[in-house]
A and B are shown apart, each in its own frame.
Chain A
Amino acid sequence: MSVMSVTAGPKRGWKSVSTWIGALIVGIAMICAIFAPLLVPHDPFTQDLSKRLLPPFWMAGTNPDYLLGTDQLGRDYLSRLIWGCRISMLIGVTVTVVSALIGITMGVLGGFLGGRVDDAVLFAITTRLSIPVVLVALAIVGLLGSSMHLLVLTLGLLLWDRFAVVARATTMQVRNLDFVAAAWCAGCSRFRILWGEVLPNIASHLVVVATLEIALAILLEAALSFLGLGVPPPLPSWGLMIAEAKDYMFFSPWVIVIPGVALFVLVLGINLLGDGLRDLFGARTDP
């Protein structure tokens, strides 16, 4: 059934338009993130109260110097949007690195060793899933004070579950294959087998999980920053921009529309790319 649906189905992987759209969005976001200091037309932190809440280019009364208008403190919105992209991407990637390290280690060890170790890993996954992520992240940041480092560490420690689930399931499949048996016979150490035989063979699945986690981390960071317990101001996180603009949204809706659309498009792009990669690798990411 599944073989049939792949051959008869819509174009997948790099043949699919949506994968390319995703790659394009992620590519633009990466350029914005890396070269933000060079790309911003104005300083994203400079306030000018005489130019506050200028509307963007498609509305009347706009100022051509400020393409997307200005915020409630007169800061250039386009510059803050580009800088916010840098923050979103930075947090998405670093959180995913932390959670990947934790989750993959646990999943591979549980799946490979089995027995007591696997029981412990399964228990850790069950416990982690029962913890309300947003609430605990808010509590940690609220009690310790907001900073980028703390935020990355907190989210990294909370989002490793999918890595662990997928790494464990795929390791179990690979564990009994012939090339692993061959490596045992050749006298390879456990570590050598895990590092050299198992990990490369489950890597494609983990890459797909990583795209999902980056998207999730970016959404969570925005939600936490929106609640005032994420990225500390005056850094222009998109979630924080929406929170700061909230008081003005009924009179100037674009102040929340712009950062929200940016957030939506970036997460959508990452997910489209992730779906494309999943089809390309034939990976499975469901628990």
Chain B
Amino acid sequence: MLQFLVRRLIVAILVAATVMTLAFILTRLSGDLAISIAGPNATQADVEAVRKAYGLDRPLTVQFFDWVGRAATGDLGESYFFKAKVSTLIGERMPITITLGLTGLVLALLVSLPLGILAAVRENTTLDRVVQMVALLGQAMPSFWLGLILMITFGLQLGWLPISGTGSWQHYVMPGIVLAFSAIPALTRLTRAGMIQAMGSDYIRTARAKGLSRASILLKHALRNAAIPVVAIAAVQLGFMLGGSIVIEQVFALHGVGFLAWESIGKNDFPVVQAVVLVLAVIYVALTMVADLMNAVLDPRLRGP
């Protein structure tokens, strides 16, 4: 178990280091940053001053290792536009993004688990096909467009929910639904496949032979085994959702991390952009590690020798 953990951790650190390098290269793509930071009305002297002030006159390798060294201690640099520490900016907005991500994940699980179980129990019936159709429809739905349609229907015409902002829990209902849509197809299919596999296994036959009730067989025996991959994928999906929430945050004007990144891209505020890419990647890597660990704890076969 310890060996498994250590190996996983080394891969995670290597991935984070690679993403850091890529994020650094990414933000240097646009050429001379000093010119874009100084603004359109800057003189040559202003540009030089900016270059000196932000340390952009140093060789790229020096800048890179400076960034890596600081990031390793939690210092993600300073925003050019907000004139504040990037870590503070991200810290302030992270709760909104995480609330949104968790809302989406819980809603997605509430829909996909029952649907997947129903489809598996009634395999190859009309009900099964309807559930699979729902998954296909969810897969084809453009999230930003669904957001706008919900805004028109529930926000404007019915007046049930607020259209934008983050004042209360109601503000998270529509964005949460939209985000859930992106995870429902995968989670439903996986629950269905896992349940079908479990229902065909020997221990279910034994349970049936013992005369256990249908509910007990389904929920206690089959679901418990089918849930292992679902729980793991749910953690990974949460990682995708946090990264993908940028579009939804923009539609609903939720000022989370995605919104911050979007603003910063428009303002050439590259310390923020590279930090958000890094933070989201690290969260994703951490979540996949949690998923692997859960798998290993639940299923001893995966731990390896």
The answer, among B124, B239, B242, B258, for a CB contact under 8 Å with A8, is: B124
Bound-complex Cα distance A5 to B22 (A): 46
A226 within 8 A of B: yes
Contact pattern, B 278-296, Cβ under 8 Å of A = 1, otherwise 0: 0011001100100000000
Taking a contact as CB atoms under 8 Å apart, the answer to whether B142 and A264 are in contact is yes
Taking a contact as CB atoms under 8 Å apart, the answer to whether A263 and B145 are in contact is yes
Bound-complex Cα distance A1 to B124 (A): 13
Known: A136-B26, A138-B246, A139-B27. A10 touches B129 (CB 8 A): yes
Q: How far is the CB of B255 from the nearest CB of chain A, in Å?
A: 16
Taking a contact as CB atoms under 8 Å apart, the answer to whether A5 and B123 are in contact is yes
Q: How far is the CB of A14 from the nearest CB of chain B, in Å?
A: 17
Q: Give the size of the chain A interface in residues (CB under 8 angstroms).
A: 46
Contact pattern, A 123-162, Cβ under 8 Å of B = 1, otherwise 0: 1001101111111101110111000000000000000000
- Which of the segments A99-107, A109-117, A193-201, A266-274 contacts the partner chain? A266-274
Q: Give the size of the chain B interface in residues (CB under 8 angstroms).
A: 50
Q: How far is the CB of A128 from the nearest CB of chain B, in Å?
A: 10
Contact pattern, B 23-64, Cβ under 8 Å of A = 1, otherwise 0: 000110110000000000000000000000000000000000
A93 within 8 A of B: no
Bound-complex Cα distance A246 to B14 (A): 43
Taking a contact as CB atoms under 8 Å apart, the answer to whether A264 and B277 are in contact is no
Q: How many residue pairs at the A-B interface have CB separations less than 8 Å?
A: 138
A227 within 8 A of B: yes
Taking a contact as CB atoms under 8 Å apart, the answer to whether A264 and B141 are in contact is yes
- Of all chain B residues, which has the CB nearest A229? B265
A223 within 8 A of B: yes
A257 within 8 A of B: yes
Q: How far is the CB of A12 from the nearest CB of chain B, in Å?
A: 11
Q: How far is the CB of B32 from the nearest CB of chain A, in Å?
A: 12
Bound-complex Cα distance A123 to B40 (A): 42
- Of all chain A residues, which has the CB nearest B16? A130
- Of all chain B residues, which has the CB nearest A269? B140
Known: A126-B11, A138-B246, A227-B247. A257 touches B26 (CB 8 A): no
Taking a contact as CB atoms under 8 Å apart, the answer to whether A223 and B243 are in contact is no
Taking a contact as CB atoms under 8 Å apart, the answer to whether B156 and A268 are in contact is no
Contact pattern, B 116-156, Cβ under 8 Å of A = 1, otherwise 0: 00000001100001000000110111111100110010001
Q: How far is the CB of B33 from the nearest CB of chain A, in Å?
A: 10
Bound-complex Cα distance A150 to B265 (A): 16
- Which of the segments A43-51, A73-81, A171-179, A248-256 contacts the partner chain? A248-256
- Of all chain B residues, which has the CB nearest A226? B144
Which B residues are in CB contact (< 8 Å) with A272?
Answer: 136
Known: A126-B15, A134-B246. A1 touches B200 (CB 8 A): yes
A219 within 8 A of B: yes
Known: A249-B152, A268-B136. A139 touches B200 (CB 8 A): no
Bound-complex Cα distance A250 to B149 (A): 10
Known: A222-B142, A227-B262. A246 touches B26 (CB 8 A): no
> Which 5 residue pairs spanning A and B have beta carbons closest together?
A132-B243, A268-B140, A142-B265, A143-B30, A260-B145
- A sample of 16 inter-chain contacts (CB < 8 A) reads A1-B197, A123-B15, A126-B288, A130-B288, A132-B243, A132-B280, A134-B244, A135-B246, A135-B261, A139-B26, A215-B140, A249-B148, A263-B145, A264-B141, A264-B142, A265-B140
